[in-house]
Amino acid sequence: MNVLTLSRWQFAITTIYHFFFVPLTLGLSILVAIMESKYVSTGDEMYKKMAKFWGRLFLINFAMGVVTGIVQEFQFGMNWSEYSRFMGDIFGVPLAIEALLAFYLESTMLGVWTFGWNKLSKKTHALTIWLVAIGSNLSALWILIANSFMQEPVGYKLENGRVLLTNFKAVFSNPNVWVQFPHVLTAGITTAGFFVLAFSAYHLLKGTKDVEFFRRSFKWGAVYGLIGVILVIIIGHIQGQHLTRTQPTKMAAAEALWETEDPASFSLFAIIDTKAQKNPVDIKIPGFLSFLVYNKFNGEVKGIKDLQKEYEAKYGPGNYIPPVKTCYWSFRLMVGFGLLMLLIAIIAIPYAKRDPSEIPRWFLKLSVWSVFFPYLANTFGWMLTEFGRNPWIVYGLLKIKDAVSPNLAPGTVLFSLLMFAIVYGLLMIADVYLLVRYGLKQGPEGAVSEGY
């Protein structure tokens, strides 16, 4: 394998792994902040217990997010030096602002929150977790501003083979940011909602002496998850419409739409033959793709073959088709898990109001397993986003193959890739073990502590 392939594997593995921890941080920081605020305003100790119990799981998760995040920052320079040279003028700016505005805030305040239960007034202490939540979500905003430039370059000029920043405001108000960031934010809320729902359901299923604690948590998880999943679907729909305009190759690949159609039909299940560029089996809903794109049952959606011709005319010879099967199935699995979560949250709401003994056991079991659904949906969503940009690393401006560091030896990258895989694998075992131990085997009584 060459340095390009190895670097792509390394970036894919470390990024997907990093994003196992990010969405829960985004959503759970807000939820714990709400719990603690509720404690401050009502004086009800139950809410303090909730903030501490879920806060401890938050901390275990947060540590993993931090250490895997530094790897992401360093890799741009280590493996993708040509990308860094080409993009530094623009990409470094949101990255530096992310650190200055968000990382300092969340990391510093989380230290204060963890150790400050008896050192600060109740209100100040609750304020620190709100600042953590704001910091975390601001960091998502700024890294997505950076990523959005790669999806939809704006506010730049090309000079001596590099992109130079010409309009900071345009980079900030990139239309792609304002569909992508809300989508990630609400995905985080969904993740946190289902995390709390699933862990609470486990305790209710196994029997616990803290019935009231987990009944209330179950309700909070269900409500939070429902709000998140409704919003993530609505915003995802708007984002899809946006991407059809700005990255037509991504959306055509996501639909395995080889020929331009008007009205365009939506494929439910297809067997895709990428060599012959057709789908031997394709179950379709007529006109529904046009509806998704234009909110009406007709309207042209461009197919892969036409786009390939168009792009060759514009950018010169080359293959401009993203991996169709990967995009097609990532998209369907993301949407599928999203809809499944919507269904579960809708069923959970009426149960959450009743006594836990009245909730059917099959539903509690399903709720426990639902903890995996947001993680799967998040991962497939990013796979569509990043695979769908192929062959570009910066859409229309720089190809992935031209971005890799030219002076690395394959053996070096193979070594780092294997080491990352081993260390990340072992850490995942330790992380899951601790989450099980502190989230499932133990109730809230052990959580009233602080320090290391």
Encoded tokens for 326? 């990967």
Stretch that binds other proteins, among 71-79, 239-247, 263-271, 367-375 (CB under 8 A): 71-79
Contacts of 267 (CB under 8 A, 6+ apart): 255, 256, 257, 279, 282, 283, 284, 289, 328
> Per rule CB under 8 A, is residue 273 in the interface with other proteins?
no
Give the binding range for other proteins (CB under 8 A) out of 43-51, 89-97, 278-286, 386-394.
Answer: 89-97
Residue 77 sits in the site that holds other proteins (CB under 8 A): yes
Q: Which of residues 395-424 bind other proteins (CB under 8 A)?
A: 405-409, 412, 415-416, 419, 423
**Contacting range for other proteins; rule: CB under 8 A; set: 24-32, 173-181, 319-327, 434-442:** 434-442
Closer to other proteins by Cβ: residue 116 or 396: 116
- 264: closest CA among 244, 281, 280? 244
Q: What phi and psi values does residue 271 have, to the nearest 5 degrees?
A: -100, 120
> How would DSSP label each residue in 188-246?
HHHHHHHHHHHHHHHHHHH--S-HHHHHHHHHHHHHHHHHHHHHHHHHHHHHHHHHHHH
CB of 34 to other proteins, least distance (A): 23
Q: Footprint of other proteins on residues 93-152 (CB under 8 A)?
A: 93, 95-101, 103-105, 107-112, 114-116, 118-120
Is 82 a binding residue for other proteins by CB under 8 A? The answer is yes
Is 339 a binder of other proteins (CB under 8 A)? Answer: no
Binding window for other proteins (CB under 8 A); candidates: 315-323, 325-333, 381-389, 432-440:
432-440
Pick 98 or 255: Cβ nearer other proteins: 98
Q: Is 161 in the site for other proteins (CB under 8 A)?
A: no
Structure token digits, residue 395: 């859409």
Length of the chain: 452
DSSP conformation letters of 44-68: -HHHHHHHHHHHHHHHHHHHHHHHH
Number of residues that bind other proteins (CB under 8 A): 74
> Is 267 in contact with 283 (CB distance < 8 Å)?
yes
Candidate ranges 72-80, 256-264, 299-307, 386-394; the one touching other proteins (CB under 8 A): 72-80
- CB 407, min distance to other proteins, A: 5
C-beta closer to other proteins: residue 369 or 433: 433
Cβ atoms < 10 Å from Cβ of 214: 25
**Which residues, 168 to 227, sit near other proteins by CB under 8 A?**
168
230-to-201, 363, 378, 415 alpha-carbon distances in Å:
21, 20, 15, 43
Q: Determine if 268 is a binding residue for other proteins (CB under 8 A).
A: no
Provide the 10 A C-beta neighbour count for residue 271: 11
Contact between 430 and other proteins by CB under 8 A: the answer reads: yes
Between 118 and 357, name the residue whose CB sits nearer to other proteins.
118
3-32: contacts with other proteins (CB under 8 A):
none
